[in-house]
Structure 1
Amino acid sequence: FISESWLIEKDLDVILSNISNIQSTQTQIAIATSKRHENSLISTRDSIMDATRNLLNDTKNRIKTLELQDLRISRNSITWEDFELRKQRVTHLKEKFVTCLQTYRKIENIYMKQQKERLSRQYKIVYPDAKDEEIDEYLKNPTDQPVFLSSRRSIIDSKNVLEEVNKRHHDIKKIEQTISELVALFEEIQLQVELQDEIIISITDEVKTVEVITERAIVELEKVEVVNKSSRKLKWLCALFTLILFGIIILIVILITNNK
């Protein structure tokens, strides 16, 4: 148990380190001065995100397994100190896992906001008088709106700008998917707690049932003991009566013999 819990914690530290690297890489993406450099950074970022996704799912499953093992262990088979240690370790791992999720979600929300702001600025370059509602509608799905191709202005080459828009939009969708996965993982951890409570309630009910059965068994045993005591008394009385009867018979025989 202890060995596995420490291994899980090491993986959680790796996850936090990955999240920090993702944040750093995304900061560099935002200020990249060339497409080649930006594409290279995005590729690096995506690789770290994929590895982190797999590690998060694996760690979640391992924490769940550890927690279920802890629930199934017999309370009488370990000391109170060991019982408390196991409980504290599982709680600590779950809290650290949630911290990873919250930290990751926070930096992705910030990055997604930055990307949307860049798209908004690009839109305003073409349409300086655009209203906020119009920009919001565009940000929902910019690839379906060829605003740059239809623009009467020639400040930026339409093809290059549209390519840039597509890239930003793809990046935003990827971040939205990541955030959705983080929310799902968080909900699974919360559900895990609820299932744990149900298991504990079930165990408590079973213990109460056993206690009732045990109490009934004790009562029945006491009744049997009373019956056994009564039976033993009856046996002694029968034996005593038999001895007295034999004594009387012997006495009668002696008296008859003497009279003759």
Structure 2
Amino acid sequence: MSSYQQQNPGYDQYGGNPYGGQGGYNTSGNPYGGQQNLNPPPLVQRQSATSDYSQTDGQPYNTLPTQAPTVLSNQDFLSRVDAVRKQITSLSGQVSAIASAHQRAISSPDGSLSSQVESLVSQTQILNTQIKDQIKFLETDAARSGGNVTKDSQIRNLKSQFKSQLEQYQQEEATYKKRYQDQIARQYRIVNPDATEEEVHEAAQANWGDEGVFQTALKSNRSGAATSVLGAVRARHNDIQKIEQTLLELSQLFQDLAETVVIQESAVKATEEQTDNVVKDTENANVQLTKGVKSARNARKLKWWCLGLVLLVMIVLGLALGIYFGVTVPNRNK
């Protein structure tokens, strides 16, 4: 195990495979696609002294706040930037460890050391994802800050450092891919010493995982030594496939970094629009509630007017009957 791994015992708890049973090269899909639960801590939200829906001063509802989500202070922002820079420094050490592991694997007569490379690459995938997520988080905060020169400058420098380290990693992987192909060509010449340059080149590019290709290479030489050499060729071909997968993942990571600003600005805009809609809905609810209260008051007034009118009618009717029976009827009898 490399000295870097000895200095970082935290990785050993995964048993050399931080993906829980799947090798870092063999992971289907994109390990940088955000499927890991590595989100940065959320921004601190200020608490309102009163409920958004409390009734105060005779108002049915308080108006919801319209300001954008809370942003980090410059001090907190710079603290997180420093933490990400330390992660990028760790990434540099990881890349160097991977290069050393590749060198040992090439010097090995078989593919027994490939697992060390695979473990280091898996660890580096996790670290790259963490750095990318932190940069996205900080870039979103800078966008919400509305032209904060300090934050914008720090984000540009941070992304530049990360991209520079990724480019170095990309270059190392491409270099060792070429060296693995050169080794395949040399081993193929051992099995087929009469092969032409074109045949050797095709062998270096061939899919040695295909049993048909393997058997074809054995046609001219079926000795035990040839079988052993071609077995080593297969192992090198597997290493090349893993490197190609890493290069694809790095390419996707570059694209994710380039799209961060657009994606996050759209998300912020959507949040602000949603807040505006909530404010409008609340204001409409206030209007409707005010109308309802007014209608209820009018209904109570109408009820009292109706009751008063009924009482008045009953009084008039009582007076009329009293006069009729008290005055008119006795006069008739006389």
Do they fold alike, i.e. is TM over 0.5? yes
* Runs of at least 4 residues off by over 4 Å: 193-200
The secondary structure found in structure 2 opposite 1:159 is helix
Amino acid at match of 2:116: T
Offset of 1:122 from its aligned partner? 1.3
Amino acid at match of 1:88: S
Distance in 2 between residues matched to 1:129 and 1:197, nearest whole Å: 62
Report the equivalent of 1:6: 82
Distance in 1 between residues matched to 2:151 and 2:135, nearest whole Å: 12
The secondary structure found in structure 2 opposite 1:152 is coil
Report the equivalent of 1:16: 92
Report the equivalent of 1:129: 194
Offset of 1:129 from its aligned partner? 3.4
Q: Which has the higher helix share?
A: 1
The more displaced of 191-200 and 135-144 is 191-200
Offset of 1:153 from its aligned partner? 6.3
Q: Check if 1:107 corresponds to 2:172.
A: yes
Tell me which of 240, 243, 247 is aligned to 1:175. 243
- CA-based RMSD of the aligned residues comes to 2.6
Report the equivalent of 2:125: 53
Q: Check if 1:26 corresponds to 2:114.
A: no
Amino acid at match of 2:123: A
Corresponding residue pairs, total? 191
- Contact 1:119/1:168 (<8 A) preserved: yes
- Contact 2:143/2:265 (<8 A) preserved: no
Tell me which of 256, 263, 272 is aligned to 1:188. 256
Q: Deviations over 1:236-256 (max 9, x none)?
A: xxxxxxxxxxxxxxxxxxxxx
* Residue segments in structure 2 that go unaligned for 5+ positions in a row: 1-76, 274-334
Distance in 2 between residues matched to 1:68 and 1:194, nearest whole Å: 10
Offset of 1:15 from its aligned partner? 0.6
Distance in 2 between residues matched to 1:52 and 1:104, nearest whole Å: 10
The secondary structure found in structure 2 opposite 1:143 is coil
Tell me which of 220, 223, 239 is aligned to 1:151. 220
- Contact 2:189/2:195 (<8 A) preserved: yes
Identity %: 32
Offset of 1:94 from its aligned partner? 0.4
Distance in 2 between residues matched to 1:74 and 1:194, nearest whole Å: 15
Offset of 1:93 from its aligned partner? 1.0
Tell me which of 109, 118, 122 is aligned to 2:183. 118
Amino acid at match of 1:188: D
Amino acid at match of 2:258: Q
* Residue segments in structure 1 that go unaligned for 5+ positions in a row: 76-82, 207-260
Distance in 1 between residues matched to 2:118 and 2:225, nearest whole Å: 28
Offset of 1:14 from its aligned partner? 0.5
Offset of 1:136 from its aligned partner? 3.2
Tell me which of 181, 196, 206 is aligned to 1:140. 206
The more displaced of 178-187 and 126-135 is 126-135
Q: Deviations over 1:121-170 (max 9, x none)?
A: 1112222332333233332312331244222364x623322321221111
Distance in 1 between residues matched to 2:261 and 2:196, nearest whole Å: 46
Amino acid at match of 1:86: K
Distance in 2 between residues matched to 1:163 and 1:152, nearest whole Å: 14
- Contact 1:143/1:165 (<8 A) preserved: no
Distance in 2 between residues matched to 1:159 and 1:127, nearest whole Å: 12
Distance in 2 between residues matched to 1:126 and 1:179, nearest whole Å: 30
- Contact 1:12/1:100 (<8 A) preserved: yes
TM-score of the pair, normalised by structure 2: 0.52
TM-score of the pair, normalised by structure 1: 0.66
Distance in 2 between residues matched to 1:97 and 1:131, nearest whole Å: 44
Distance 1:131 1:158, change over 3 A: closer
Q: Which has the higher contact order (CA 8 A, sep 6+)?
A: 2
